[in-house]
Amino acid sequence: MDVTLRPAISIRRSRMGKVFLADLVGNGTMSPDLGSFLAAAVAARKNIMIAGATNAGKTTLLRALANQIPAEERLITVERALELGLDHFPELHPNVVAFEERLPNSEGQGTISMADLVRRSLRMNPSRVIVGEVLGDEIVTMLNAMTQGNDGSLSTIHSNSSLEVFNRISTYAIQASERLPVDATHMLIAGAIDFVVFQEKRNEYTQGGRLRRFVSSVREVTGVDGLVLSSEVFAPSRDGQAVPHAPASCLDELAAYGTTRRGEAGVERAEGARHRLEGLATWTESLRDTIAARSASSRPSPPLPGSPTARSASRWRGLWTGCTPACRCMWRCAGSPRTSTTRAPT
């Protein structure tokens, strides 16, 4: 039975074979501060999950992060289809074992799932385990590998935001054979993942722009309280790209691996600018109130109803022709001289 009316061919070809974080900084995918931050996170052996939509550039970012790993480390990659190609560059990674999932034959036999490959890779003395794309029950095995001493692991997952990654992992864990409940999955996430990097794709053709791919958010996992607790250390700016938002709890540890504290300085500058703007707004409001109060005190108050002043003003209003446009008399003529030729008695 046919599955399509006519043959269809889909070719997935990466334009960047050997890509580094410096290349992504140069093409606008991320800022220099974020590039140095991610490089230090890889050097510090932090477990990083890359999230994003389809064709957002997750594999390219994963390849750039993997190229930051020292050449003396032993890497094992597990993928559904070989895309990373780390074993194609022995000058960068001379010790790489690339695993690919095997589908069943026509009789339904001979399948080797990604969960089986991740489980077997742990017995091959890996320095790091890199899972190309998590789409099913292999997530539980991957998280267990991250919590059993294989720090510095990398992986990608489909998600609409950095915060939704935790719910997506919980959904995959429920579908796995272990049938992990949500609270147990979140405890596993808190102990396994250190950072979630969200890659975004934005089509700006209708505004005369181009197709942009950029990192818009970096979220740090800080703990668990029923659900995963996290902090967004890099948040989207007005143009969508990630800028420093809050200092990471492990910033001192990352500083020991070559990163600068420019991210923290950026947060301090942003906080200082916000405080200055708030002070300027308060000063402007105070100045407006002062001007209004002075204007109210400089005008004469209206006479009380029934007072001699009020009766006199009512009697002679409209008879006086000596008012000028700048007049501030008690009758509040407001510079509206009358046309009457009758003069007020002296």
SS3 148: coil
Q: pLDDT tens digits for the chain (346 residues)?
A: 678 889 889 887 766 578 999 999 999 999 999 999 999 999 999 999 999 998 888 999 999 999 999 999 999 999 888 888 888 889 999 999 999 999 888 888 888 988 888 888 888 989 999 988 888 878 888 888 888 777 899 999 999 999 999 999 999 988 888 788 889 999 999 999 999 999 999 887 777 778 889 999 999 999 998 899 999 999 999 888 999 998 888 888 888 887 654 444 444 554 555 556 666 777 777 777 777 777 766 655 555 555 555 545 444 444 444 555 555 554 445 444 444 444 444 4
Q: Are 135 and 141 in contact (CB under 8 A)?
A: no
Q: Where are the alpha helices (DSSP H) in 137-261?
A: 138-146, 165-175, 182-192, 251-255
Which are the contacts of 67, defined by CB distance < 8 A and separation ≥ 6?
18, 19, 20, 21, 86, 89, 92, 93
Cα separation, 67 vs 339, in Å, equals: 90
Which are the contacts of 164, defined by CB distance < 8 A and separation ≥ 6?
51
For residue 50, what is the enclosing H or E element? strand 48-52
Q: Which of 97, 20, 13, 93 is nearest to 61 (CA)?
A: 20
Rounded to the nearest 10 degrees, the angle between the axes of helix 165-175 and helix 182-192 is 120
32: left (phi over 0), alpha (psi -120 to 50) or beta: alpha
Q: Are 196 and 51 in contact (CB under 8 A)?
A: yes
SS3 328: coil
Per-residue tokens: 216: 């818009």
Cα separation, 2 vs 5, in Å, equals: 7
